Chain A
Amino acid sequence: MPIVSTFCKKGGVGKTTFIGYLAHYYANQGKTVLVISADDQNSIFKIFGCENFVTANDDDFFENLLIGEKKPEEVVFEVRPGMYLMKTLNTDRLSINLTLKRSEEKKLRALIEDFTNYFDYIFIDFPPSSSRLTEILLDISEKILLVVGLDPLGIDGYKNTIQYFVDCDIEISKISHIIPIGYHPIKITPNKALKDLKILAENYSPDAIIATPIKDKAVIQNLQSEGISVFDNHTMKDKFHQKNLNEISKDLTEVYKSIVL
Protein backbone atom coordinates (compact mmCIF):
# COMPACT_ATOMS: atom_id res chain seq x y z
CA MET A 1 0.00 0.00 0.00
CA PRO A 2 1.55 3.31 -1.02
CA ILE A 3 3.06 5.74 1.43
CA VAL A 4 2.72 9.20 -0.08
CA SER A 5 4.24 12.47 1.14
CA THR A 6 3.88 16.12 0.30
CA PHE A 7 7.03 18.10 0.74
CA CYS A 8 8.55 21.51 0.07
CA LYS A 9 11.22 23.43 1.90
CA LYS A 10 9.20 26.61 1.60
CA GLY A 11 6.40 27.15 4.09
CA GLY A 12 2.84 28.25 3.42
CA VAL A 13 2.57 26.81 -0.07
CA GLY A 14 -0.34 24.49 0.72
CA LYS A 15 1.25 21.14 1.55
CA THR A 16 -1.12 20.39 4.43
CA THR A 17 -4.21 21.59 2.57
CA PHE A 18 -3.32 19.57 -0.50
CA ILE A 19 -2.61 16.30 1.31
CA GLY A 20 -5.56 16.74 3.69
CA TYR A 21 -8.04 17.07 0.85
CA LEU A 22 -6.28 14.32 -1.11
CA ALA A 23 -6.78 11.98 1.84
CA HIS A 24 -10.43 13.02 2.15
CA TYR A 25 -10.92 12.45 -1.58
CA TYR A 26 -9.70 8.85 -1.22
CA ALA A 27 -11.70 8.32 1.99
CA ASN A 28 -14.85 9.42 0.12
CA GLN A 29 -14.12 6.71 -2.44
CA GLY A 30 -14.33 4.06 0.29
CA LYS A 31 -10.61 3.76 1.03
CA THR A 32 -9.17 3.66 4.53
CA VAL A 33 -6.52 6.34 4.80
CA LEU A 34 -4.13 7.50 7.49
CA VAL A 35 -2.47 10.91 7.60
CA ILE A 36 0.55 11.20 9.86
CA SER A 37 1.23 14.81 10.71
CA ALA A 38 5.03 15.06 10.92
CA ASP A 39 4.44 18.76 11.40
CA ASP A 40 4.03 19.28 15.16
CA GLN A 41 1.81 22.29 14.51
CA ASN A 42 -0.82 19.64 13.59
CA SER A 43 -2.72 22.15 11.46
CA ILE A 44 -4.36 19.34 9.49
CA PHE A 45 -6.69 18.82 12.46
CA LYS A 46 -7.80 22.44 12.15
CA ILE A 47 -8.61 21.98 8.45
CA PHE A 48 -11.07 19.24 9.36
CA GLY A 49 -12.50 21.12 12.35
CA CYS A 50 -11.02 18.73 14.93
CA GLU A 51 -8.42 20.89 16.66
CA ASN A 52 -9.91 19.80 19.98
CA PHE A 53 -8.31 16.38 19.39
CA VAL A 54 -4.87 18.03 19.50
CA THR A 55 -5.28 19.59 22.92
CA ALA A 56 -7.68 17.13 24.56
CA ASN A 57 -5.01 14.78 25.96
CA ASP A 58 -1.26 15.00 26.53
CA ASP A 59 -0.47 11.35 26.05
CA ASP A 60 -1.93 10.32 22.70
CA PHE A 61 0.77 11.54 20.35
CA PHE A 62 2.76 9.56 17.81
CA GLU A 63 5.74 9.71 20.18
CA ASN A 64 3.73 7.87 22.85
CA LEU A 65 3.18 5.08 20.37
CA LEU A 66 6.85 5.02 19.39
CA ILE A 67 8.06 4.53 22.96
CA GLY A 68 5.45 1.84 23.54
CA GLU A 69 3.31 3.79 26.00
CA LYS A 70 0.18 3.59 23.85
CA LYS A 71 -1.41 1.24 21.36
CA PRO A 72 -1.95 2.35 17.74
CA GLU A 73 -5.73 2.59 18.17
CA GLU A 74 -5.23 5.00 21.08
CA VAL A 75 -3.26 7.57 19.06
CA VAL A 76 -5.38 7.57 15.93
CA PHE A 77 -8.29 9.98 15.36
CA GLU A 78 -11.10 9.47 12.90
CA VAL A 79 -11.92 12.90 11.50
CA ARG A 80 -14.09 11.76 8.59
CA PRO A 81 -15.48 8.28 7.84
CA GLY A 82 -12.50 6.18 6.79
CA MET A 83 -10.00 8.99 7.33
CA TYR A 84 -7.65 8.85 10.31
CA LEU A 85 -5.08 11.33 11.61
CA MET A 86 -2.08 11.00 13.91
CA LYS A 87 -0.52 13.94 15.70
CA THR A 88 3.06 14.61 16.78
CA LEU A 89 4.19 16.45 19.90
CA ASN A 90 7.71 17.66 19.25
CA THR A 91 9.45 16.57 16.08
CA ASP A 92 12.73 18.28 17.02
CA ARG A 93 13.11 16.15 20.12
CA LEU A 94 12.02 13.08 18.23
CA SER A 95 14.70 13.83 15.64
CA ILE A 96 17.39 14.12 18.33
CA ASN A 97 16.33 10.72 19.64
CA LEU A 98 16.40 9.27 16.15
CA THR A 99 19.90 10.67 15.60
CA LEU A 100 21.34 9.42 18.88
CA LYS A 101 19.60 6.05 19.02
CA ARG A 102 19.70 4.04 15.83
CA SER A 103 17.36 1.44 17.29
CA GLU A 104 14.62 4.10 17.35
CA GLU A 105 14.90 4.47 13.60
CA LYS A 106 14.35 0.76 13.10
CA LYS A 107 11.33 0.91 15.38
CA LEU A 108 9.87 3.84 13.43
CA ARG A 109 10.35 2.10 10.10
CA ALA A 110 8.80 -1.14 11.39
CA LEU A 111 5.85 0.76 12.86
CA ILE A 112 4.96 2.53 9.63
CA GLU A 113 5.45 -0.63 7.60
CA ASP A 114 2.98 -2.34 9.94
CA PHE A 115 0.44 0.44 9.30
CA THR A 116 0.38 -0.53 5.63
CA ASN A 117 -1.53 -3.70 6.61
CA TYR A 118 -4.41 -1.66 7.99
CA PHE A 119 -4.70 1.27 5.59
CA ASP A 120 -5.12 1.58 1.83
CA TYR A 121 -3.05 4.74 1.76
CA ILE A 122 -0.71 6.38 4.23
CA PHE A 123 -0.08 10.08 3.74
CA ILE A 124 2.62 12.03 5.53
CA ASP A 125 2.31 15.75 6.03
CA PHE A 126 5.72 17.40 6.45
CA PRO A 127 6.73 20.68 8.01
CA PRO A 128 8.82 23.05 5.89
CA SER A 129 11.79 22.53 8.20
CA SER A 130 13.95 19.45 7.84
CA SER A 131 15.27 17.06 10.45
CA ARG A 132 16.29 13.45 10.88
CA LEU A 133 12.63 12.50 11.11
CA THR A 134 12.01 14.16 7.73
CA GLU A 135 14.90 12.25 6.18
CA ILE A 136 13.64 8.88 7.45
CA LEU A 137 10.02 9.51 6.50
CA LEU A 138 11.00 10.72 3.03
CA ASP A 139 13.11 7.60 2.65
CA ILE A 140 10.14 5.40 3.64
CA SER A 141 7.81 7.24 1.24
CA GLU A 142 7.17 5.53 -2.05
CA LYS A 143 5.98 8.68 -3.76
CA ILE A 144 6.67 12.32 -3.01
CA LEU A 145 4.42 15.11 -4.21
CA LEU A 146 6.35 18.35 -4.39
CA VAL A 147 4.09 21.33 -3.77
CA VAL A 148 5.45 24.53 -5.33
CA GLY A 149 4.10 28.05 -4.95
CA LEU A 150 3.90 29.92 -8.25
CA ASP A 151 5.92 33.00 -7.32
CA PRO A 152 9.65 33.81 -7.28
CA LEU A 153 10.02 32.65 -3.66
CA GLY A 154 8.15 29.46 -4.43
CA ILE A 155 10.55 28.69 -7.29
CA ASP A 156 13.47 29.25 -4.89
CA GLY A 157 11.74 26.78 -2.58
CA TYR A 158 11.77 24.19 -5.38
CA LYS A 159 15.51 24.72 -5.96
CA ASN A 160 16.19 24.49 -2.23
CA THR A 161 14.18 21.26 -1.97
CA ILE A 162 16.14 19.64 -4.80
CA GLN A 163 19.37 20.74 -3.11
CA TYR A 164 18.15 19.17 0.14
CA PHE A 165 17.37 15.88 -1.64
CA VAL A 166 20.88 15.82 -3.11
CA ASP A 167 22.52 16.68 0.23
CA CYS A 168 20.57 14.03 2.18
CA ASP A 169 20.90 11.40 -0.53
CA ILE A 170 17.15 11.02 -1.05
CA GLU A 171 16.20 9.67 -4.46
CA ILE A 172 14.92 12.48 -6.68
CA SER A 173 13.11 9.89 -8.81
CA LYS A 174 10.69 9.45 -5.89
CA ILE A 175 9.20 12.83 -6.75
CA SER A 176 6.29 11.54 -8.78
CA HIS A 177 4.39 14.81 -9.22
CA ILE A 178 5.03 18.52 -8.92
CA ILE A 179 1.94 20.43 -7.83
CA PRO A 180 2.01 24.10 -8.80
CA ILE A 181 -0.24 26.17 -6.53
CA GLY A 182 -1.35 29.79 -6.89
CA TYR A 183 -2.02 29.90 -10.61
CA HIS A 184 -3.93 32.71 -12.30
CA PRO A 185 -4.61 32.79 -16.05
CA ILE A 186 -4.06 36.57 -16.43
CA LYS A 187 -1.51 37.52 -13.78
CA ILE A 188 2.02 37.75 -15.10
CA THR A 189 3.96 36.45 -12.06
CA PRO A 190 2.30 32.99 -11.74
CA ASN A 191 2.56 32.43 -15.51
CA LYS A 192 6.23 33.34 -15.53
CA ALA A 193 6.86 31.18 -12.44
CA LEU A 194 5.12 28.22 -14.10
CA LYS A 195 7.30 28.62 -17.18
CA ASP A 196 10.44 28.76 -15.00
CA LEU A 197 9.28 25.75 -13.01
CA LYS A 198 8.80 23.69 -16.18
CA ILE A 199 12.35 24.47 -17.32
CA LEU A 200 13.80 23.69 -13.87
CA ALA A 201 11.79 20.48 -13.54
CA GLU A 202 13.05 19.25 -16.91
CA ASN A 203 16.62 19.62 -15.70
CA TYR A 204 16.44 18.59 -12.05
CA SER A 205 13.49 16.20 -11.72
CA PRO A 206 12.81 14.82 -15.20
CA ASP A 207 10.75 11.86 -13.90
CA ALA A 208 8.22 14.09 -12.16
CA ILE A 209 4.93 14.96 -13.84
CA ILE A 210 3.83 18.56 -13.49
CA ALA A 211 0.18 18.43 -12.44
CA THR A 212 -2.50 20.88 -13.57
CA PRO A 213 -1.79 24.15 -11.73
CA ILE A 214 -4.21 24.83 -8.88
CA LYS A 215 -5.78 28.28 -8.72
CA ASP A 216 -5.51 30.41 -5.62
CA LYS A 217 -8.92 30.77 -4.00
CA ALA A 218 -9.68 32.78 -0.90
CA VAL A 219 -12.78 30.64 -0.26
CA ILE A 220 -10.54 27.79 0.87
CA GLN A 221 -9.33 29.88 3.80
CA ASN A 222 -12.93 30.61 4.80
CA LEU A 223 -13.66 26.89 4.75
CA GLN A 224 -10.55 26.05 6.75
CA SER A 225 -11.43 28.56 9.44
CA GLU A 226 -14.80 26.81 9.83
CA GLY A 227 -13.27 23.32 9.70
CA ILE A 228 -15.14 22.32 6.55
CA SER A 229 -13.53 20.25 3.83
CA VAL A 230 -13.96 20.92 0.12
CA PHE A 231 -15.42 17.40 -0.23
CA ASP A 232 -17.95 17.76 2.61
CA ASN A 233 -20.91 18.73 0.34
CA HIS A 234 -21.22 21.93 2.31
CA THR A 235 -23.53 24.73 1.09
CA MET A 236 -22.19 28.28 1.29
CA LYS A 237 -24.35 31.20 2.41
CA ASP A 238 -24.25 33.11 -0.86
CA LYS A 239 -24.08 32.24 -4.54
CA PHE A 240 -20.74 33.92 -5.14
CA HIS A 241 -18.90 31.82 -2.56
CA GLN A 242 -20.83 28.70 -3.57
CA LYS A 243 -19.67 29.17 -7.16
CA ASN A 244 -16.07 29.51 -5.97
CA LEU A 245 -16.40 26.41 -3.80
CA ASN A 246 -17.84 24.39 -6.69
CA GLU A 247 -15.02 25.55 -8.92
CA ILE A 248 -12.29 24.63 -6.47
CA SER A 249 -13.75 21.23 -5.64
CA LYS A 250 -14.05 20.52 -9.37
CA ASP A 251 -10.46 21.67 -10.01
CA LEU A 252 -9.11 19.61 -7.10
CA THR A 253 -11.05 16.52 -8.18
CA GLU A 254 -9.55 16.78 -11.65
CA VAL A 255 -6.04 17.16 -10.22
CA TYR A 256 -6.52 14.24 -7.83
CA LYS A 257 -7.87 12.08 -10.63
CA SER A 258 -4.79 12.84 -12.71
CA ILE A 259 -2.45 11.85 -9.88
CA VAL A 260 -2.30 8.07 -9.97
CA LEU A 261 -0.90 6.79 -6.67
Chain B
Amino acid sequence: MNNFPKKRTNPFEKPISAAKEEKVEVVVKEEPEIEEEVEEIVEQEEEIEEYVEPTPVVKKPAPKQPTKPAPKQARSGSRNSNVYVESDNRLKYTATMDRELRRRIKIVCATREIMFSQFIEQACIEKLNREGDR
Protein backbone atom coordinates (compact mmCIF):
# COMPACT_ATOMS: atom_id res chain seq x y z
CA MET B 1 0.00 0.00 0.00
CA ASN B 2 1.40 3.38 -0.93
CA ASN B 3 0.85 6.75 0.67
CA PHE B 4 -0.93 8.48 -2.23
CA PRO B 5 -2.64 10.88 -2.16
CA LYS B 6 -1.43 13.07 0.66
CA LYS B 7 -4.09 15.70 0.23
CA ARG B 8 -7.63 15.12 -1.02
CA THR B 9 -9.01 17.91 -3.20
CA ASN B 10 -12.48 18.54 -4.57
CA PRO B 11 -12.45 18.63 -8.38
CA PHE B 12 -16.05 19.90 -8.51
CA GLU B 13 -15.29 23.22 -6.82
CA LYS B 14 -14.71 25.06 -10.06
CA PRO B 15 -15.11 24.17 -13.74
CA ILE B 16 -11.86 23.73 -15.71
CA SER B 17 -12.28 26.95 -17.71
CA ALA B 18 -12.54 29.03 -14.50
CA ALA B 19 -9.59 27.21 -12.92
CA LYS B 20 -7.37 27.91 -15.93
CA GLU B 21 -8.21 31.64 -15.87
CA GLU B 22 -7.27 31.77 -12.19
CA LYS B 23 -3.94 30.11 -12.86
CA VAL B 24 -3.07 32.79 -15.43
CA GLU B 25 -3.90 35.55 -12.93
CA VAL B 26 -1.73 33.98 -10.26
CA VAL B 27 1.27 33.89 -12.59
CA VAL B 28 0.92 37.63 -13.33
CA LYS B 29 0.75 38.47 -9.62
CA GLU B 30 3.83 36.43 -8.74
CA GLU B 31 6.24 38.40 -10.95
CA PRO B 32 7.11 41.28 -8.54
CA GLU B 33 7.68 38.79 -5.69
CA ILE B 34 10.44 37.08 -7.66
CA GLU B 35 12.35 40.38 -7.99
CA GLU B 36 12.26 40.88 -4.22
CA GLU B 37 13.70 37.42 -3.67
CA VAL B 38 16.63 38.18 -5.98
CA GLU B 39 17.48 41.33 -4.00
CA GLU B 40 17.44 39.37 -0.76
CA ILE B 41 19.83 36.79 -2.17
CA VAL B 42 22.27 39.56 -3.22
CA GLU B 43 22.20 41.01 0.31
CA GLN B 44 22.93 37.61 1.79
CA GLU B 45 25.93 37.11 -0.51
CA GLU B 46 27.46 40.41 0.70
CA GLU B 47 27.15 39.26 4.28
CA ILE B 48 28.92 36.01 3.49
CA GLU B 49 31.96 37.93 2.08
CA GLU B 50 32.50 39.68 5.41
CA TYR B 51 32.37 36.44 7.36
CA VAL B 52 35.78 35.15 8.54
CA GLU B 53 36.18 31.42 8.51
CA PRO B 54 37.36 29.84 11.82
CA THR B 55 40.57 27.81 11.77
CA PRO B 56 39.81 24.15 11.12
CA VAL B 57 40.21 21.83 14.08
CA VAL B 58 42.06 18.63 13.21
CA LYS B 59 40.55 15.67 14.97
CA LYS B 60 42.86 12.90 15.99
CA PRO B 61 41.69 9.43 14.99
CA ALA B 62 40.56 7.32 17.92
CA PRO B 63 42.98 4.51 18.84
CA LYS B 64 41.93 1.18 17.41
CA GLN B 65 40.69 -1.30 19.94
CA PRO B 66 41.84 -4.89 19.51
CA THR B 67 38.97 -6.94 18.16
CA LYS B 68 38.45 -10.57 18.96
CA PRO B 69 37.82 -12.89 16.03
CA ALA B 70 34.24 -14.18 15.95
CA PRO B 71 33.90 -17.78 17.17
CA LYS B 72 33.36 -20.31 14.39
CA GLN B 73 29.84 -21.56 14.11
CA ALA B 74 29.15 -25.26 13.94
CA ARG B 75 28.04 -26.45 10.48
CA SER B 76 24.45 -27.49 10.31
CA GLY B 77 23.39 -30.50 8.23
CA SER B 78 25.57 -33.13 6.60
CA ARG B 79 28.31 -32.23 4.13
CA ASN B 80 27.03 -34.56 1.46
CA SER B 81 23.52 -33.17 1.36
CA ASN B 82 22.64 -32.08 -2.20
CA VAL B 83 19.55 -30.14 -1.24
CA TYR B 84 19.56 -26.83 -3.08
CA VAL B 85 17.90 -23.98 -1.26
CA GLU B 86 16.87 -21.17 -3.60
CA SER B 87 17.42 -17.73 -2.15
CA ASP B 88 14.96 -14.88 -2.77
CA ASN B 89 17.64 -12.70 -4.32
CA ARG B 90 18.69 -15.24 -6.95
CA LEU B 91 18.53 -13.92 -10.48
CA LYS B 92 18.28 -16.12 -13.54
CA TYR B 93 21.82 -16.73 -14.77
CA THR B 94 20.77 -15.64 -18.23
CA ALA B 95 19.20 -12.43 -16.95
CA THR B 96 22.53 -10.63 -16.76
CA MET B 97 23.65 -11.96 -20.14
CA ASP B 98 23.87 -9.65 -23.10
CA ARG B 99 20.38 -9.40 -24.54
CA GLU B 100 21.41 -9.87 -28.16
CA LEU B 101 23.57 -12.90 -27.28
CA ARG B 102 20.71 -14.43 -25.33
CA ARG B 103 18.39 -13.91 -28.28
CA ARG B 104 20.87 -15.54 -30.68
CA ILE B 105 21.29 -18.55 -28.41
CA LYS B 106 17.54 -18.96 -28.07
CA ILE B 107 17.11 -18.99 -31.84
CA VAL B 108 19.90 -21.59 -32.21
CA CYS B 109 18.31 -23.72 -29.47
CA ALA B 110 14.96 -23.56 -31.21
CA THR B 111 16.44 -24.63 -34.54
CA ARG B 112 18.44 -27.48 -32.92
CA GLU B 113 15.45 -28.43 -30.76
CA ILE B 114 17.46 -28.43 -27.54
CA MET B 115 16.97 -26.67 -24.24
CA PHE B 116 18.80 -23.46 -23.39
CA SER B 117 20.54 -25.16 -20.47
CA GLN B 118 21.71 -28.01 -22.73
CA PHE B 119 23.32 -25.49 -25.05
CA ILE B 120 25.13 -23.84 -22.15
CA GLU B 121 26.30 -27.26 -20.94
CA GLN B 122 27.64 -28.18 -24.36
CA ALA B 123 29.41 -24.83 -24.64
CA CYS B 124 31.04 -25.27 -21.24
CA ILE B 125 32.24 -28.80 -22.09
CA GLU B 126 33.68 -27.53 -25.35
CA LYS B 127 35.49 -24.66 -23.62
CA LEU B 128 36.94 -26.96 -20.97
CA ASN B 129 38.16 -29.44 -23.59
CA ARG B 130 39.74 -26.65 -25.57
CA GLU B 131 41.42 -24.76 -22.76
CA GLY B 132 41.88 -27.53 -20.19
CA ASP B 133 41.06 -27.21 -16.50
CA ARG B 134 43.32 -24.23 -15.93
Contact = CB atoms under 8 A, between A and B. Distances in A.
Query: What bracket does the count of chain A residues touching chain B fall in?
Result: 20 to 34
Given A72-B12, A119-B11, 20 more contacts: A1-B16, A32-B16, A49-B2, A49-B4, A52-B1, A73-B11, A76-B11, A76-B12, A77-B8, A78-B8, A117-B15, A117-B16, A117-B17, A118-B12, A118-B16, A119-B16, A186-B103, A227-B2, A240-B95, A240-B96
A27 to B, nearest CB: 11
Contacts of B16: 1, 32, 117-120
Interface stretch (A79-87, A124-132, A153-161, A200-208): A79-87
Contacts of A80: 4-5
Given A50-B4, A84-B11, A240 B107 contact: no
Contacts of A49: 1-2, 4
Contacts of B129: none
B111 interface: no
A233 to B, nearest CB: 12
B57 interface: no
Interface string A148-181: 0000000000000000000000000000000000
Contacts of B8: 77-78
Contacts of A226: 2
Interface in B55-110: 89, 91-92, 95-96, 103, 106-107
Interface in A89-141: 117-120
Contacts of A240: 91-92, 95-96
A21 interface: no
A66 interface: no
Given A186-B103, A186-B106, A186-B107, A228 B2 contact: yes
Contacts of A84: 11
A34 interface: yes
19 contacts: A32-B16, A48-B2, A48-B4, A49-B1, A52-B1, A73-B10, A73-B11, A77-B8, A78-B9, A79-B5, A80-B4, A84-B11, A117-B17, A118-B12, A120-B16, A186-B103, A186-B106, A227-B1, A240-B95
Contacts of A1: 16
A58 interface: no
A32 B17 CA distance: 12
Interface of A: 1, 32, 34, 48-50, 52, 71-73, 76-81, 84, 117-120, 186, 226-228, 232, 238, 240
B5 A78 contact: yes
Main secondary structure of the interface of B (DSSP, over half): loop
A56 to B, nearest CB: 13
Interface of B: 1-2, 4-5, 8-17, 89, 91-92, 95-96, 103, 106-107
A81 B5 contact: yes
Q: Which of B5, B14, B96 has the most CB of A within 10 A?
A: B5
Nearest to A228: B2
B17 to A, nearest CB: 8
Given A1-B16, A240-B95, A118 B5 contact: no
Nearest to A51: B1
A30 to B, nearest CB: 10
